[in-house]
Chains A and B, each alone.
Chain A
Amino acid sequence: MKSKLVIKFDLNSNKYFFGKLFYDKLFAIGLILPAALMLCLTIVLPLLEVIRMSFHNYSLLNMNQIKWNNFANYQLLFTDPELLFAFLRTFYYVVVTVSLNLVIGFTIALLLNREIKSRNFLRGLFFLPWTFPTLVAAVVWLWIYQPQYGIFNYLLQTCDLISRHVNWLGELNTAMPAVIVASVWKQTPLMMVMILAALQTVPRDLEEAAVIDGASSSQRFFNVTIPCIMGVLKTVILSSIITNFQMFALFFVMTGGGPVRATTTLAIYTYEAAFMQFNLGKGAAVGVLWLVFLVVFTVTYNRILSKKEAFQD
C-alpha cells in the first residue's frame, strides 16, 4: 500500500452527475465483480451449503429425505476418537513435510546461491519434480515402494541396509514417512526456487557491510539474509502448510488411508465419511470443523509473523 490517494482521472469532473469518486468506485467494483461472482459460485455458496448440510441427515442412499437432525452429525464426530487421530496425523504430516521442504529447499537454494557455473541449468533440473502432476508423483512412488519389485527395496538391500523386503506403504510405522518422502520430493523444488530467487534480491552491499563489521557467517545469515527474505519465507511456508493440510491425491492413490488407519488424514477421513459411507452430512460437519481450525490458525500465523511488518506499514 504505497500511496493511498485516488487518482484524478478527468480534469473537468463536472461532467459527472454523482461526482468523480462515485464513478471511480463504480469502475473499481465493476472490475472486481467478475472475480467476486465466480468465487461466490465456487466458494461462498458451497461453503454455506456445507454448513447447512452439516446440520442435516444427508445420505447418498436416501437423497429424498433430508432432515434437520439436531447436531447428530457433530455428536457423531465428537464421540469418534478417529477424528482426533485423523487431525493429529494431518498435523504430523504437515509439520514434517513443511519442515523438510523448508530445510532441504533452503539448503539447495544456498548451495546454488554461491558463485557457481550453470546455476540456471541446475536450478531447472532441481525444479523438474515439481512440474510432474501430483497424481504422477503418487503413482511413481507407489511403484518405487512396491514391496517385491520396487527399486527402493532393491537398492537398500544391495547396500545391506535392510535384510528383508519392507512393505513401505503397508506397514504401520513406515507408511506415513513413505508418503512424506514422496510429497517432499514433489514440493521441495518450488520452495527451493522461491527461496533462491529471494536470496538473489538480498543487496550485496548489506552483506559486504556485515563482513566489514566482522560478523560471522552465521550472524550474517540470521541478521542479514533471513530478515531480507522474510516476506517470501512467510508466503511460501503458509502456502505450503495450506496445500499439505488439504493433501488428498497422494494419500488417496498411495495408501487410501491405510494400513489400518495409519495415513487417514482429515482429507481422507472427510472423503470416506461423505463418499464411502454415503454420509454427506457427517462429511460436511468434518469440513466445518476443519475450516474453523484453518481460519483460527491463519489469523494467528499472520498475527505472529506480521508484528514486525506492522511497523513498516
Chain B
Amino acid sequence: MKDRSHLLLNILLLILLVLFLAPIYWMILTALKPNALLLKMPPEWNPFKLTLENFTTILSDHKFLVFYKNTGIVAFGTTFLSMILAALASYSFSRFKFRGSSFLQLVFLSTQMFPAVALMIALYALYHKLHLLNTYTALILACATNALPLSIWVLKGFFDTIPRSLEEAASIDGCGRIQTLFQIILPLVKPGILAISIYAFLISWDDFLWGLTLVSKMELRTLAPGIALAYLGEYNYDWAKVMAASVVASLPILLVFIFLQKHMISGLVMGAVKE
C-alpha cells in the first residue's frame, strides 16, 4: 500500500518534471533547426538531423557579442556594488541599535515594491540631467537598487548569528572597527556574501526594463532588451536565431547556477528562515 502510493507520487513528480523541462528542450531543439525544418509540421524531433548554423551566426554577430560583453560588465558591476553596500549596511543594522534603525530597515526593504515602470519615467528625466543616460553606471545603479533590499535583509541574518564576543576580543587585541569588520567578521559570513552575490548577478542578468530604457545606444545594450530589439526585427520573426540567442544568453547563469546553486539556495533560505 505504502509502496503503491509512493509510486503514484513518483509518477506525479515525473509528470511535473517533464512539464517544467519540455519548454527548455523545445527551445534548444528549435535553436538547432535550419529555417526549412522550422516551419515543418509535424515537427522534427530528432536532434541529430540538425545544424549548429544558428549558433555560429549568432556568435559571429558583432552586435550579439557586444550585448554579451555589456551584460557581463553590468552584472559584475552590480554584484560588486550591491555586495559592498549590503555588507556594510547589514552589519550596521545587525550590530547597532540607534533611533530610526528599524524604521530605516523597513524603508530599505519596502523600496522593493516601488513600481519600476513608474520610477523609470522619472529616472529617465533625472539621469538625463545628471548625464547618466547611456552609461554603464546608470544600469549598475538601477540593478543594484533591485538587488540591495533583499541582500541586506539576508546578510543581516548571517551577521546576527555571529557572537558579539568576537568583536570584543578583537577590540582588546587592538583591532580597529573597520579592520575587525573586514578581517574577522566578513570571512565568517562568506556563505551569506556568496549567496547575495549570486542573487545580484542573476537579478542583473534578468533585467529588461532598465536596459530597455536607460540605454539607447547599441554599443551599450544588454542581452535581454538587445534580443528583443534586434532579433524580433522589423520584417519577420527569425525563430531559430532568436532561440539560439536565448540559449547562449542563458548559458552563463546556467553555469553559475549549476556550480553554485547550493550556496545560493541555502543562503537565501537562511535569511528567510531566521525571522
Query: Is the pair B206, A133 in contact by a Cβ cutoff of 8 Å?
Result: yes
On whether the beta carbons of A198 and B272 are closer than 8 Å, the reply is: yes
Residue contact B268 to A194, C-beta cutoff 8 Å? yes
Tell me the bound Cα distance from A249 to B208 in angstroms: 7
What does DSSP make chain A's interface, helix, strand, loop or mixed?
helix
What per-residue 1/0 map shows which CB atoms of A273-313 lie under 8 Å from chain B?
Answer: 01100001001101110110011001000000000000000
Q: How many residues of B contact A (CB 8 A)?
A: 97
Q: Which residues of B contact A134 (CB under 8 A)?
A: 206, 208, 224
When chains A and B are docked, how far (Å) is the Cα of A236 from the Cα of B209? 23
Q: How large is the interface on A (under 10, 10 to 19, 20 to 34, 35 or more residues)?
A: 35 or more
B93, B123, B209, B228: the one within 8 Å of A46 (CB)? B123
Residues 116-136 of chain B, each 1 if its beta carbon lies under 8 Å from chain A, else 0 = 111101110110000000000
Q: A35-B85, A149-B41 are in contact. Are A284 and B126 (CB under 8 A)?
A: no
- A residues within 8 A CB of B13? 108, 111-112, 122
- Residue in A122, A185, A246, A253 whose CB lies within 8 Å of B17: A122
Complex alpha-carbon distance, A286 and B125, angstroms = 17
B227 at the interface (CB under 8 A from A): yes
Is B215 interfacial (CB-CB < 8 Å)? no
Of A93-101, A137-145, A167-175, A204-212, the one contacting chain B is A137-145
Q: Is B113 an interface residue when CB atoms closer than 8 A count as contact?
A: yes
Docked Cα-Cα span, A148 to B43, in Å, equals 12
Partner of B115 from the list A124, A235, A290 (CB cut-off 8 Å) is A290
The answer to whether A133 touches B205 (Cβ under 8 A) is: yes
Interface 1/0s, chain A 76-108, versus B by CB < 8 A? 000000000000000000000000000010011
| Interface pairs (6), CB distance under 8 Å | A7-B164, A42-B141, A43-B119, A114-B6, A253-B232, A270-B121
Could you tell me which B residues sit within 8 Å of A by CB distance? 6, 9-10, 12-13, 16-17, 20-21, 23-24, 26-27, 30, 38-39, 41-43, 81, 84-86, 88-89, 91-93, 95-98, 101-102, 104, 108, 110-119, 121-123, 125-126, 141-142, 144-145, 148, 150, 152, 160, 164, 167-168, 171-172, 177, 202, 205-206, 208-209, 213, 223-225, 227-228, 232, 239, 242-243, 246, 249-250, 253-254, 257-258, 261-262, 265-266, 268-269, 272-275
